[in-house]
């Protein structure tokens, strides 16, 4: 694995209103082929963090570096070109368009000669999409829709994939399939920053994890070590680190 991080967040302060930060001094990084989970109780700033990296929330202080370049003044569409792909929790597909058209639109930034191969590659990862090819995305199940949202993000071969609560609202079966797909994706050079409400599942597939509390770093370390740490579960995650599968906290 390349030792240089794909994305580094340094002393980041961000929020929706001036003078009212939601993220208050967070530092973290994501490496090549690494899956990093961001966990914490409600209101911890997890979703705001990934939205700030994506360019959707303004930076008040600190830095976000991608390949060593400061992203502060880089707009959202330029961050996509630099390899940052963001999948929001909701409204992450074009519901009235077919699966095929969703993918074709997402492939537009690529050279025309590369688009068909790129779409075929993401359909190899998510073969269910081929079976739903001609259906409107709004007719897909929750799990299928989330797979399409991730495929749309991956079709341009990003360097970093930002996921905000991807298992929210999914059945246990669909959530399990989603986490299996994330484990497959992490085998490539793509770095994944995962905000997730299912703490146990997130820690089971992550390499490392950060726990946020009130917009600040509270704990960090190897995912397996945090999963086994009763203090993390009791103090920061409502005991969910050792809860049965399907548990978790929401931001």
**Tens of pLDDT, residues 194-217:** 999 888 899 999 999 999 999 999
Neighbours of 98 (CB within 10 A): 16
> With 50 as the cut, is the pLDDT of residue 172 above it?
yes
CA distance 26 to 213: 10
**Tens of pLDDT, residues 114-155:** 999 999 999 999 999 999 999 999 999 999 999 999 999 999
Interhelix angle for 112-125 vs 172-185, to 10°? 130
Predicted structure pTM score:
0.89
**Tens of pLDDT, residues 22-46:** 999 999 999 999 999 999 988 999 9
Percent of the chain exceeding pLDDT 70 equals 91
What CATH number has the domain spanning 7-242? 3.40.50.300
Q: State the first-to-last Cα distance of the chain, in angstroms, to the nearest integer.
A: 31
């Amino acid at each position: 694995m390349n030792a240089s991080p794909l994305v580094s967040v340094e002393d980041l302060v961000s929020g929706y209103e001036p003078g009212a930060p939601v993220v208050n001094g967070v530092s973290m990084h994501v490496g090549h082929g690494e899956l990093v989970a961001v966990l914490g109780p409600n209101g911890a700033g997890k979703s705001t963090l990934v939205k700030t990296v994506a360019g959707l929330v303004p930076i008040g202080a600190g830095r976000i570096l991608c390949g060593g370049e400061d992203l502060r003044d880089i707009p959202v569409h330029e961050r996509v070109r630099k390899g940052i792909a963001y999948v929001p929790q909701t409204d992450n597909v074009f519901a009235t368009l077919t699966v095929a058209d969703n993918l074709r639109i997402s492939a537009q930034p690529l050279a025309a000669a590369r688009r068909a191969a790129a779409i075929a590659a993401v359909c190899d990862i998510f073969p269910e999409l081929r079976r739903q090819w001609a259906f409107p995305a709004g007719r897909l199940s929750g799990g299928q829709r989330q797979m399409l949202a991730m495929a749309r993000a991956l079709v341009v071969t990003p360097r970093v994939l930002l996921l905000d609560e991807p298992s929210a609202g999914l059945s246990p079966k669909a959530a399990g399939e989603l986490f299996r797909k994330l484990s497959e994706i992490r085998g490539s050079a793509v770095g994944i920053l995962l905000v997730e409400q299912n703490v146990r599942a997130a820690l089971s597939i992550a390499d490392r994890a950060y726990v946020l509390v009130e917009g600040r770093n509270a704990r960090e370390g190897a995912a397996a070590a945090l999963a086994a740490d009763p203090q993390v579960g009791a103090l920061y995650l409502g005991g969910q680190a050792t809860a049965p599968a399907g548990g978790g906290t929401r931001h």
